Amino acid sequence: MDESEISNKALQIKSIFKDNSDMPADILKMKIEDFLLKHNTCTLCTAHENKVRATPIEYKYLNQAIYFISEGGEKFAHIYVNPHVSIAVYENYKDFKSLAGVQISGTAILVERFSNEYNTVMKNRGLNIENLKNMPIYLNVIKVKPNKYEVLFSDFSKEDYNVKQVLQCFDD
């Protein structure tokens, strides 16, 4: 069996054991947002051709989007070429009864410097806009618009829901 066949088999198995997202979407969305608001660090994964980059980075969850502030780096080069990203936010592992994590698939864009959105993000982080304009370096803002959340919360079983849930996002 070649690599492509192995990959296809794995995807078939995943579809057979597809997560049963039986939690009502509004409740699941609320639990996801609560989790994201309680955390501030994640792993941002970007890719281009055969290069993959996993960057530990601080984030801010605002207005149903995830924002990152950064001077630059390889992740920027990847995003310019391939805006599709994956983000993982999770609790430290203790045991199987306390698993909690969210994997987010989304599309990244660079927010225009000193636009209203840029200024809102910076102010929310406690940064002074005038000071930013006088800095010798640029601080960039990356915005990720999620299109899918894959959730694993052990606590969902206490509410008689599956511990794995999926929430697809649609443009309003």
Q: 10 Å Cβ neighbour count for 34?
A: 9
Q: Select from 156, 148, 61 the least CA-distant residue to 100.
A: 156
Strand partners, 48: 51
Q: Select from 54, 56, 46, 43 the least CA-distant residue to 103.
A: 43
pLDDT number for residue 80 = 86
Domains and CATH numbers, the chain: 23-168 (2.30.110.10)
- Positive or negative torsion for Cα 34, 38, 42, 46: positive
Rounded distance between C-alpha atoms, residue 21 and residue 151, angstroms: 10
pLDDT number for residue 170 = 65
Per-residue model confidence as pLDDT tens for the chain (172 residues): 777 777 766 665 555 444 454 899 999 999 999 999 999 999 999 999 999 999 999 999 999 999 999 888 888 888 889 999 999 999 988 887 789 999 999 999 999 999 999 999 999 999 988 888 888 888 999 999 999 999 999 999 888 899 999 999 865 4
pLDDT number for residue 17 = 47
- Residue 39 CA, chain-centre distance (Å), reads 12
Q: Can you tell me which residue has the tokens 């960057």?
A: 55
Q: 10 Å Cβ neighbour count for 44?
A: 24
Q: What are phi and psi of 125, to 5 degrees?
A: -85, 0
Is 155 in contact with 102 (CB distance < 8 Å)? no
Q: Can you tell me which residue has the tokens 């930013």?
A: 132
